[in-house]
Chains A and B, each alone.
Chain A
Amino acid sequence: MIGVAAGLALEGYRPIAHSYAPFLVERPWEFLKLDLGHNDLGAVLVSTGASYDAARSGRTHQAPEDVTLVAALPGWTIHVPGHPEELERLFRRSLSGHDRVYIRMSEEENHARVDGGGFTVLRRGSTGAPLVVAVGPTLTPVLEATAGRDVGVAYLATVRPFPHDGVRDALAAGTDVVLVEPYLAGTSAAEIAVALRDRPHRLLTLGVENAELRRYGTGAEHRTAHGLDAAGIAGSLDEFLA
């Protein structure tokens, strides 16, 4: 599928490829690297299933590693929309380009869409306050978990290229950063390290744990198991910021 998409792109078309993330990214990963990347061809890849939307389907249909894999390849823009209206906006925008775009759809969604660019500061704490960066559909639980805390909250729906300057500016005089991602924990930790390369800082990365859960059930149950619901995030914040 990715090869055919690349062939269409060779002739000037704008291919859109869609499947579950394991079959769109993981299985054909070398085709993303070579047919699209090395051949310098564009495409819009739109995945479904995210980390654990297909909880009942089990591990075969779950891909918390997808963003790590795509992000390892040069030249990809990666969107992780947190709301259907953000998805539509990002998807439509992607259609007009010639670049390589990965859009990660999820059944998880925030209560409201966030307007603006890829990185949006939603709340500012006092001088020196920690900064919590919520990626995609983690925003609603992050807002619940940070209610009443003196922290800044920023929202990120486009994770590659990573907004180094945005994070740096939003943290201002602070030193503590909490990164909450709906896929493998720490996927963007190295990007934070780049953003703050010359500043002493502490970083807590929350996300899907890098161990097989081996459970079915619902996405909500998986979110809780990975500590990504509001209570789980609040508990991690208590520990880190104590």
Chain B
Amino acid sequence: MATVTTLDYDDLPALLTRLTGDEKHDTSSLSTLDVLWVLYDRILGDDDRFQLSKGHGPAAFYAVLAAKGIVPVGELDSFGSFDSRLGYHPDRMRAPGVEISSGSLGHGLGMAVGAALTGRRVWCLVGDGELDEGSNWEAVQYAGRVGPGSLTAIVVDNDSSQYGWPEGIERRFMLEGWIALRVDGRDHEALEAALRPDLEGKSRRTSGSRSSPRRSGPTRSASIRATSMSASANS
């Protein structure tokens, strides 16, 4: 492989243009772009895992992967074509840097819980509309009781839930023993602070306790966190 050249946040609009063919791209047009950038630019380490559960509309994801040298920039032009590794819903068996194949809503959070049970630090991005799928709440409840080592659910809240979440999405997570925060989905500093795995200085994952179910309730909530991002644009 050629020498990897990483690009900057300011390069993302050009990368998006290659993906979509649209002439002009404002970074604000994609609700997930900023949180993806912050994750890949400031948060994720070599041993960490990011799972894009919200696999529909992956343009921002591919653009960030390309900016970070994980996907060759030239491949963005092939988006969705027969031989492309970059489909409209990501396929982990084809696309480099894609941890899970997704696109059908409500699958990622369960897989993220499973991966986190092994001791991985896992971040999983879901949409607020996606949370309409009941499978998410099985995962939220199970994680709340079992307490996987280090799991962060990132909820992009662009008000696309069919029926909405009275009192806010984060309340649902908190009821199940998660730490929940709401930040501005465009504010990189706020996102970084919210996504740091050592948030609040609580104890990190320990290898002995990862997979043993805890029945003591919210005492294990230290490292499962939901970050809701207010982001008005659709993606």
* Residue positions of A touching B, CB distance < 8 A: 1-13, 15, 30-31, 34-35, 38-40
State A39–B109 Cα separation when bound (angstroms): 14
Is B117 positioned at the interface, with any CB of A under 8 Å from its CB? yes
- Provided the pairs A8-B115, A11-B115, A39-B92 are in contact, do residues A3 and B120 lie with their beta carbons within 8 angstroms? no
State A34–B53 Cα separation when bound (angstroms): 12
* Further pairs besides A3-B114, A8-B115, A40-B92: 11, Cβ < 8 Å: A1-B138, A4-B113, A4-B117, A4-B139, A5-B114, A7-B111, A7-B113, A11-B115, A35-B110, A39-B100, A40-B93
Query: Is the CB–CB distance between B117 and A7 below 8 Å?
Result: yes
List chain A residues, Cβ under 8 A from B139: 3-4
B92, B100, B113 pick with most chain A CB within 10 angstroms: B100
Question: B residues 68-113 with Cβ under 8 Å of A?
Answer: 91-93, 99-101, 104, 107, 109-113
State A12–B49 Cα separation when bound (angstroms): 14
Which of A7, A30, A34, A40 makes the CB contact (< 8 A) with B114? A7
Chain A: minimal CB distance from B114 (Å): 2
| Closest A residue to B113 using CB positions | A4
Query: Is the CB–CB distance between B111 and A3 below 8 Å?
Result: yes
Is B116 positioned at the interface, with any CB of A under 8 Å from its CB? yes
| A–B Cβ pairs within 8 angstroms, 17 of them | A1-B138, A2-B110, A3-B109, A3-B111, A3-B139, A7-B112, A7-B114, A7-B115, A7-B118, A8-B115, A10-B114, A11-B118, A13-B118, A31-B110, A31-B135, A39-B100, A39-B111
Query: Is the CB–CB distance between B120 and A11 below 8 Å?
Result: yes
Is B142 positioned at the interface, with any CB of A under 8 Å from its CB? yes
Chain A: minimal CB distance from B50 (Å): 12
| Closest A residue to B122 using CB positions | A7
Chain B: minimal CB distance from A159 (Å): 26
Chain A: minimal CB distance from B142 (Å): 7
| Closest A residue to B139 using CB positions | A3
List chain B residues, Cβ under 8 A from A40: 92-93
Chain B: minimal CB distance from A115 (Å): 36
* Residue positions of B touching A, CB distance < 8 A: 49, 91-93, 99-101, 104, 107, 109-120, 135, 138-139, 142
List chain A residues, Cβ under 8 A from B101: 34, 38-39
- Provided the pairs A11-B120, A39-B92, A39-B101 are in contact, do residues A34 and B115 lie with their beta carbons within 8 angstroms? no
List chain A residues, Cβ under 8 A from B49: 10
| Closest B residue to A40 using CB positions | B93
State A1–B141 Cα separation when bound (angstroms): 12
Query: Is the CB–CB distance between B118 and A8 below 8 Å?
Result: yes
List chain B residues, Cβ under 8 A from A30: 104
State A10–B93 Cα separation when bound (angstroms): 12
| Closest B residue to A28 using CB positions | B135
Query: Is the CB–CB distance between A3 and B92 below 8 Å?
Result: no
List chain B residues, Cβ under 8 A from A8: 114-115, 117-118
- Provided the pairs A10-B99, A39-B100 are in contact, do residues A34 and B112 lie with their beta carbons within 8 angstroms? no
List chain B residues, Cβ under 8 A from A9: 114
State A3–B116 Cα separation when bound (angstroms): 12
List chain A residues, Cβ under 8 A from B109: 3
Chain A: minimal CB distance from B98 (Å): 10
Which of A1, A13, A31 makes the CB contact (< 8 A) with B107? A31
List chain B residues, Cβ under 8 A from A34: 101, 104, 107
List chain B residues, Cβ under 8 A from A1: 110, 138
Query: Is the CB–CB distance between B104 and A10 below 8 Å?
Result: no
List chain A residues, Cβ under 8 A from B117: 4, 7-8
Query: Is the CB–CB distance between A3 and B113 below 8 Å?
Result: yes
Chain A: minimal CB distance from B225 (Å): 17
State A29–B117 Cα separation when bound (angstroms): 23
Chain B: minimal CB distance from A1 (Å): 8
